[in-house]
Amino acid sequence: MQTAAFLVLSTVLICACASPAHRIDAVARNANFQKQVEWGSGFRHVIYRNAAATQTGVLHVYIEGDGTPYRRPDTAASDPTPRNPLMLRLMVLDPTRSIYLGRPCYFEPNRDRACDPIFWTLRRYGPEVLDSMAAVLRLEAERAGADRIELFGHSGGGTLAVLLSQRLNNVTRVITLGANLDTAAWCKLHHYTPLSGSENPADTQPQPNPGGIQILHLVGTDDTNTPPSLVIAAAHARGDEPVRVVAHFSHSCCWETTWADVLRE
Q: What is the span of the domain harbouring residue 138?
A: 2-264
- Number of structural domains in the chain: 1
The set of long-range contacts for 6-10, using a CB threshold of 8 Å and a minimum separation of 24, is 6/30, 7/31, 7/89, 7/92, 8/89, 8/256
User: How far is residue 112's CA from residue 104's CA, in Å, rounded to a whole number?
Assistant: 9
Helix (H) or strand (E) holding 21: helix 20-30
Measure the CA angle with vertex 215, ends 37 and 192; round to 5°.
70
Give the Å distances, CA to CA, from 60 to 87, 172, 263.
12, 10, 10
Note the pLDDT of residue 209. Answer: 54
- Which residues lie across from 227 on neighbouring strands? none
CATH number at residue 216: 3.40.50.1820
Note the pLDDT of residue 56. Answer: 85
**CB 105, CB 119: distance < 8 Å:** yes
Over the chain (265 residues), what is each successive 10-residue block's mean pLDDT? 49 56 86 93 93 86 95 90 94 95 85 87 97 97 94 98 95 97 97 95 71 91 98 94 97 96 92
- 5 three-state secondary structure: helix
Bridge-based pairing state of the strands 44-49 and 98-101: antiparallel
- Which residues lie across from 135 on neighbouring strands? none
Note the pLDDT of residue 109. Answer: 61
CB-based burial label for 261 (10 Å; 0-12, 13-18, 19+) = exposed
**CB 30, CB 10: distance < 8 Å:** yes
Note the pLDDT of residue 254. Answer: 95
Note the pLDDT of residue 207. Answer: 57
What pTM was estimated for this model as a whole?
Answer: 0.91
User: How far is residue 56's CA from residue 42's CA, in Å, rounded to a whole number?
Assistant: 31
